[in-house]
Amino acid sequence: MIDTVKLLSLAVATPDNIILQSEAAETAGRLFSERFQDFKYLARVFESTGIRKRHVARPLSWFEQPHGWQDRMAAYVEVATELFRRTAIGALQRAGIEAHQVDCIVTVSSTGVVTPSLEARLAGELGFRCDIERVPIFGLGCAAGVSGLAIASKMARSRPGAVVLFVSIELCSLAFRLDELTRPNIIATALFGDGAAACVLRAGDGGIAEIESTGEHLFPDSLGIMGWKIDDTGFGIVLEQSLPVFAETHVRAAIEGILDRAGLSLSDVDRFICHPGGARVLAALESALGLEPGSLDIEREVIGDYGNMSSPTVLFVLERAIAAGLPERSALVAMGPGFTASCITLKRVA
């Protein structure tokens, strides 16, 4: 019998700087209202998102000044390294595993570029072995919390007993732009925050939940829905207004296909654990998946407390779902650039 991959532990962390949504709205008004004629109309998004506060890489005053690639990536290296340290140590301690026992590290991030990669920078300090395998992944965006976890689970499944550390880190706030007088940039200032999460996986006994199945669906002709445009200043958000409509129209068939390949159906899932991309996206997912309005309650709690942190956000939701008690079978769902839907089913370990 082949050992199944188990989720042994999960830890999350955020930067220390906190921005209240009211502060973000006031600051954005000062910075954009005189220069962007549609700002008054768009400013309503600061209330409609349901976000109360966010954690960000730098104090609010930092974002009121212009910054280029060098400033942004210096901030990324500093803060992402610290979040990697905190989440990795936390997840390993919760799993009762020492750093030298880790055989592979899968790291996902789409909001900063650093070479050598984060796990290499911390290898000596944290005590990882010299023969550890490193798999840094860039470009999966919001879907990476699920897609990256799926990749990590496959690494664990290929060698039963091997310990795989999965780390998801995003510093979305470093993409806030003073020079981008566009609807997507204004929405970004109201929606995105920063955070990180880490999981320990191993094929064998024990754990919190079994990684039962994984799958993705890449939608044709959808490259413009979400992503980055890159220029001399840094990343610039690409975000289509039609995303909630797209989700409500297309996600159900994609998730049904993923589940069907695993011999499952929507009715086999007791709880969907979704990436909370925004209030309208959550409502669209509830409609698409046939859920009662408001049933994605933990998702709304997380986005209210942290905003959309991109890839780690769904893992923040998973942490709270674990604390509340996982049902027999749950499904992690996230969407991201590509445009992609990603899904993992989890079975509770008795």
Catalytic residue among 104, 142, 172, 343, which? 142
User: Structure pTM?
Assistant: 0.94
Give the DSSP letter of residue 43: T
100 within 8 A of 125, measured Cβ to Cβ: no
pLDDT of the residue at 314: 97
Tally of CB atoms within 10 A around 38: 12
pLDDT for the residue 1: 47
Per-block average pLDDT, block size 10, for the chain (350 residues)? 86 97 88 78 81 95 90 95 98 97 97 94 96 95 96 94 96 89 83 96 93 94 82 79 83 94 95 92 92 94 96 97 96 92 93
Distance in Å from the first CA to the final CA of the chain: 19
Identify whether 142 is a catalytic site residue.
yes
What domains are defined for the chain?
5-203 (3.40.47.10), 209-348 (3.40.47.10)
The pLDDT value recorded for residue 224 is: 81
- pLDDT score, position 2: 63
The tokens describing 237, both together, are 């958000």
Report d(CA 160, CA 41) in Å as an integer.
55
